[in-house]
A and B are shown apart, each in its own frame.
Chain A
Amino acid sequence: MSLWKIALRSIEQRGIASVLTILSMALGVALVVVVLVVHGVIDKTFRTTAGGYEMIVGGKGSPLDLVLNTVYHLGRATEPMSWTFYKEFLPEGKYGGYVQHAIPYCLGDNYEGHRIVATTPEMFTSFEFAPGETYEIGAGRNFGQAAALASGEKLPERKPAKVLADDDDAAAEEEHHHHHAAPPFVNEAVIGALAARQTGLKVGDSFKPTHGVTTSAEDGHEHDPVKVVGILKPTGTPNDKAIFMNIEGFFLLDGHSKSGAHHHGPLPEEEREVTAVLVKTNPEVQMAGMLVSKNINEGQVAMAVFPVAEIRRLLDTTVGPVSTLLLIVAGMIVVVAGIGIIVSIYNSMNERRKEIAVMRSLGASRFSIVSIVMMESLLLALAGGVCGFVLGHALIGLSGGFLLDKTGVQISFLQFPMWEIPLAQGALLVPIELVLLPALIMLAGLVGYFPAVAAYRTDVSRALSNAT
């Protein structure tokens, strides 16, 4: 019979005490797993997702709010900017030469809690959701001009994107009149993979957006229907839970005018506002990003932020320390559970002295006895570790919905963030929880030491004399 089996039997024999000890260890380990995995996933997702956006321009306010709101669909919408300002980023605008792509980004509606982002089709053709990762439409097609073309409608000639302030009255009137022409755009939406799954919307379905970025918005009136024309393939980013619609369609919906006035047909430019502008700078212009952002930030109208920098600051100054604190607390729970193992084994030492003496009389050496006690400690710690690992991932799975709502990060039961261990050639990727394994083994060795010493010192002759 192996020493392991003897240790296992000893644990079985003290069933309730062993189960309670394993349970307390499992709780501690589960908390460590939750903190490690959630922090790992959030950290990675936030950094990766932010990397898909080079620069965001929005109304003056908190740069972090702008990033969270635009990239992660979190928090309240920031102050909007005028359409005129957006046009500064078009080729003929003030920043045109510095910009490769610039698209408007409007918030204001939701459907069953999923934020509706109004933008242009370039969102999915000219931008990436993470560095090097382009959007793919899994079903249907992109929205926007393509729809009008497909239906055989003639697209109106859009006025050259000049700065409105430069226009004379006649031009403005013409622009105004032009917008009152028959709307060339229908209300179309491309929805994120998760939004499609959660709402049940399919290509060809129509839905009525509700005014307000959240379901709890006070002014929650329903808009005219919007047709789903495409569903994005999963990106693993918060955009999976968003609904995107063509911005012209968005401006056709009631309640989206700056003054709040009701308009028939397309919204005049002076009544249009955008929440943000997603900007990709011109790679051929050196320091384009720095120059544009400096210029914008010195002005009074808007601010330009670099999401990667903002998120790094958030993670390094707030999320990181909080996670470290939680990790310390969870670690302390594991240590307390480890002390529980000492107490459990130590308390049983009185009744075990007889068993130890019997085993010694059968020829077991002191080393064998010490090994059995240490193995018992290790088995309790590892059983607690395995239970804690499963429990931790179960908690992660159960809290997935909550995390998605609060952070925009999707996390599932079988999520294993990897830890990159640099090697001489390449790197080794190991699940981050594996760091717990050597820690648990060390803890088991440490807590097993004290009862093992007591077992080592057992006076066999006296214990046998008492037993017989």
Chain B
Amino acid sequence: MLKLRDVRKSFTLPDGSTLPILNVERFEVAAGEQLVLAGQSGSGKTTLLHIIAGITRPDAGSVSFDGTDLAKLSEAARDRFRARHIGYVFQTFNLLPGFSALENVVLGMSFCGTKVDESRARHLLDRVGLGKRLSHKPATLSVGEQQRVAVARALANKPKLLLADEPTASIDARNQQQVLDLIRETCREEKVALLLVTHAPIVAEQFERVEKLEELNRVNEVAAR
């Protein structure tokens, strides 16, 4: 489903010099697969997720998603593609504080160009255990509940791939496992592939496939040569 080939990304520093961040020769995710991308802080995990999501365009290489090369699409086309096919869960949930739980999920449906399906939003919130807290604003929900809303929002458009960037890092230990289980179960039910970024071994060890970014990313090898 997702195939990255020779993806390279570097940033320009304030002094004008270039800092290479990523050089991934090959990375693939199959449909419905669940895997972990592990790596230390600053290793480029989030940058890679942004490239896969189409938020950032790589300097070189291809990001093929079901045959569509995101790297060649215009920004507007990438936005539309992301809205329809990719869900995103953040470490700090990033719910919009002025919107209720239901509205936050509905918001996730608002940019993909199709009719908003509020019943699906209600169903998803019910699925994540918040069926009775639809009208609650994020500030009145616990951190665990907020992340459940974020999961429901990410799945609102029936994406093919869910990108989860350290989704349990901001949650207390008791809720971490619940949220993780919830993400994995719902992805399975919805037949959504899951690419979960984490640096926590306790999370990584629960997945059959764990990719270490340090091993994928050849940027240091190239620099050393």
Contact = CB atoms under 8 A, between A and B. Distances in A.
A binds B: yes
Interface of A: 1-3, 6, 9-10, 12-13, 354-355, 358-368, 460-461, 464-465, 467-468
7 A-B pairs with least C-beta separation: A363-B83, A13-B98, A363-B111, A1-B110, A365-B79, A364-B111, A468-B91
B108 interface: yes
A460 B55 contact: yes
Interface string B89-109: 011101011110001001111
Interface in B35-78: 46-47, 50, 53, 55-56, 75-76
A262 to B, nearest CB: 82
A184 B15 CA distance: 108
Contacts of A464: 46, 50, 55, 90, 94
B112 interface: yes
Contacts of A468: 46, 90-92, 94, 165-166
Interface centre among B107, B116, B165 (most CB of A within 10 A): B107
Contact of B99 (A2, A9, A367, A460): A9
Contacts, number: 85
B90 A467 contact: yes
A12 B137 CA distance: 13
Given A10-B98, A461-B55, A363 B91 contact: no
A363 B79 contact: yes
Nearest to B90: A468
B125 to A, nearest CB: 15
B84 A362 contact: no
A373 to B, nearest CB: 15
B107 A1 contact: yes
Contacts of B90: 358, 361, 464, 467-468
A161 to B, nearest CB: 83
Contact of B83 (A354, A362, A460, A465): A362
A310 to B, nearest CB: 60
Contacts of A2: 110
Nearest to B94: A358
A364 B97 CA distance: 18
Given A354-B94, A363-B84, A6 B56 contact: no
Most chain A beta-carbon contacts within 10 A, residue among B76, B91, B94: B94
A2 B110 CA distance: 7
Contacts of B55: 360-361, 460-461, 464
A353 B94 CA distance: 12
Contacts of B50: 461, 464
Interface residues of B, number: 35
A365 B92 contact: no
18 contacts: A1-B107, A9-B98, A358-B94, A358-B96, A361-B82, A361-B94, A363-B82, A363-B112, A364-B83, A365-B76, A365-B80, A366-B79, A367-B76, A460-B55, A461-B56, A464-B46, A465-B46, A468-B90
Interface of B: 46-47, 50, 53, 55-56, 75-76, 79-80, 82-84, 88, 90-92, 94, 96-99, 103, 106-112, 116, 153, 157, 165-166
Contacts of B79: 360, 363-366
B98 A12 contact: yes
Given A360-B55, A460-B55, A461-B50, A365 B94 contact: no
A6 B79 CA distance: 18
Contacts of A3: 110
A52 to B, nearest CB: 59
Contacts of B110: 1-3, 6, 362, 364
A365 B73 CA distance: 14
Contact of B53 (A358, A361, A364): A361
A146 B97 CA distance: 80
A468 B92 CA distance: 5
A362 B92 contact: no
A364 B88 CA distance: 13
B80 A361 contact: no
A1 B75 contact: no
Contacts of A10: 98
A465 to B, nearest CB: 6
Contacts of A461: 47, 50, 55-56
B63 to A, nearest CB: 15
Contacts of B157: 363
Given A9-B99, A358-B96, A364-B83, 9 more contacts: A3-B110, A9-B103, A13-B98, A361-B53, A363-B112, A365-B76, A366-B76, A467-B90, A468-B91
B167 to A, nearest CB: 10
Contact of A362 (B56, B107, B116, B166): B107
Contacts of B111: 359, 362-365, 368
Contacts of A363: 79-80, 82-84, 111-112, 157
A362 B91 contact: no
A19 to B, nearest CB: 15
A277 B184 CA distance: 99
A359 B88 CA distance: 11
A461 B56 CA distance: 7
Contacts of B165: 468
Contacts of B84: 363
Nearest to A357: B94
A359 B94 CA distance: 10
Given A361-B53, A363-B84, A461-B56, A467 B76 contact: no
Contacts of B76: 365-367
Contacts of B106: 1
A366 B91 CA distance: 24
Nearest to A10: B98
* Interface-central residue, A361, A368, A465, by most chain B CB under 10 Å: A361
Nearest to A355: B96
